[in-house]
Amino acid sequence: MFTKVDIPILNKKLSIVVNGKLIDFSQTKVMAILNITPDSFYDGGLYQSHDLIMNRVDDIIEQGADIIDIGAVSSRPGANHVSVSEERNRLLPVVELIRKRYPDITISIDTYRSDIVKDIVEHYGQILINDISAGNLDNRLFETVSRYNLPYILMHMQGNPQTMQLKPSYTDVTNEILKFFIGKIKRLRDLGIYDIIIDPGFGFGKSIEDNYAILARLDEFKILELPVLVGISRKSMIYRLLNITPEKALNATALLHGLAIERGANILRVHDVSEAVQNIKLMNKFNEVEIK
């Protein structure tokens, strides 16, 4: 187990600033997934026109999302390669539409490419960067995030999207992820990046057993004193264990979201916004009650 003595580089910071807006994570926030890909594992191909995309955005906003996370490249195992130009062509028009209709909503971009980050920031201003690779798939990404003073989601992944689920292996998965985060956080802070969110990377180079071990020990990530993002919505750790499809995994997802909140999740990254908002409200109420 780690103690604060082991990690002197860290200091408590449960808020970030995005485009001049302070977001406080002392209570759990909802990050809504907006996949504009043809091949994502659950909703790939559903939002392939701008009208359909904006209908989805309208629903997301109405249901109470705090952040919209836009992904133009699927990271599921075996996903097709997407060029930088194709990712750019998918993303930029959508970001423009959302900025025009909802100028105050916080936008996150699910990308690991520095060129994409540069293009979006220079066209549409500061955004939150959600990087599945922790800078390992583009050695210019950290410097780009630093140059534009962007908030950053640091995720753990063993391997890459093509290899991550072949034979993931850990001695102590939670401890190894904590060590990984400590090294990466130090590097980010050396570059002047302080608005950091951590994501253990459920399903990214982890077995089903690894995923549940991380969830059971999620509160240990509090030692990093940074907001913790949990992305388990309808994932294979749920539907494969239950021998169901992702489409039938909503109830089980809600149950695990409750457990994640109880163990300190500051952000839920979800497909189903209204259900997650309800879950958070119920958990907040439950935690207000004093047992007499």
Q: What is the DSSP string of 192-235?
A: T---EEEE--TTSS--HHHHHHHHHTGGGGGGG-S-BEE--TT-
Which phi and psi (to 5°) does residue 144 adopt?
-70, -45
Amino acid at 68: I
Q: Are 29 and 279 in contact (CB under 8 A)?
A: no
- The rounded distance, in Å, linking the Cα atoms of 36 and 47 is 6
Question: Which of 29, 88, 263, 269 is flagged as catalytic?
Answer: 269
Q: How many CA atoms lie less than 13 Å away from 273 in the CB half-sphere?
A: 19
Region of residue 120 (left: phi > 0; alpha: psi -120 to 50; beta: else): alpha
Q: Are 221 and 198 in contact (CB under 8 A)?
A: yes
Question: Which of 184, 234, 235, 263 is flagged as catalytic?
Answer: 235
Q: Are 9 and 182 in contact (CB under 8 A)?
A: yes
**Which residue reads 């999302």 in tokens?**
65
What is the token pair recorded at 15?
A: 């808020």
Q: Is residue 76 flagged as an active site residue?
A: no
67 membership: H or E segment, kind and range:
strand 67-71
Q: Is residue 269 flagged as an active site residue?
A: yes
* Active-site annotation, residues: 235, 269
